[in-house]
C-alpha cells in the first residue's frame, strides 16, 4: 500500500495534523477501510487510565505494562496468597491496588 503522503493531499495531511492525529494512525485507519475524511478528523482515544466516579482509575487497555522480578521466596509467597484468594492473578492484583488506593485516599481526608 502506498505511504500516507501518497494517499492524502497536503490539505488532508494538514487537517490530520491540526486534529492531533499521527500519520501512522491515519494510515492504519485508511488501511482498515476508514473513509479518509473520518480518518483525518475523528479524535484518537487517549491511552492510559480513566478516572471512575469513586476517584480511582481503571485500565482502558492501553496502559503501560509494568514489570518487576521477585526472589523465589517472595514469588512463592505471592503465588500462595493468590491461590488462597480464589481470584485470578489479574483480579487479585487489581483488588490489592484498589484497596491500597482506597486506603491512601482515606488517609488524606
- 97, three cell numbers: 491496588
Phi, psi of 102, deg, nearest 5: -65, -45
- Convert the pLDDT of each residue in 18-47 to its tens digit: 988 888 889 889 989 999 999 999 988 765
**DSSP label at residue 93:** H
Q: How far apart are CA 82 and CA 44, in angstroms?
A: 36
Q: How far apart are CA 81 and CA 75, in angstroms?
A: 10
Residue 78 has pLDDT above 80, yes or no: yes
Q: How far apart are CA 96 and CA 41, in angstroms?
A: 40
CA distances from 95 to 17, 54, 58, 86, 106 (A): 40, 15, 12, 12, 16
> What are 57's strand-pairing partners?
51
Whether pTM > 0.75 for this model: the answer is no
Amino acid at each position: 500500500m502506498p505511504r500516507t503522503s501518497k494517499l492524502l493531499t497536503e490539505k488532508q495531511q494538514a487537517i490530520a495534523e491540526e486534529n492531533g492525529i499521527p500519520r501512522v494512525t491515519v494510515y492504519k485507519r485508511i488501511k482498515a477501510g476508514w473513509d479518509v475524511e473520518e480518518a483525518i478528523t475523528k479524535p484518537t482515544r487517549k491511552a492510559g487510565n480513566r478516572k471512575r466516579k469513586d476517584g480511582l482509575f481503571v485500565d482502558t487497555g492501553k496502559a503501560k505494562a509494568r514489570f518487576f522480578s521477585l526472589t523465589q521466596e517472595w514469588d512463592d509467597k505471592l503465588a500462595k496468597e493468590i491461590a488462597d484468594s480464589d481470584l485470578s492473578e489479574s483480579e487479585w492484583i487489581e483488588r490489592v491496588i484498589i484497596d491500597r488506593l482506597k486506603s491512601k485516599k482515606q488517609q488524606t481526608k
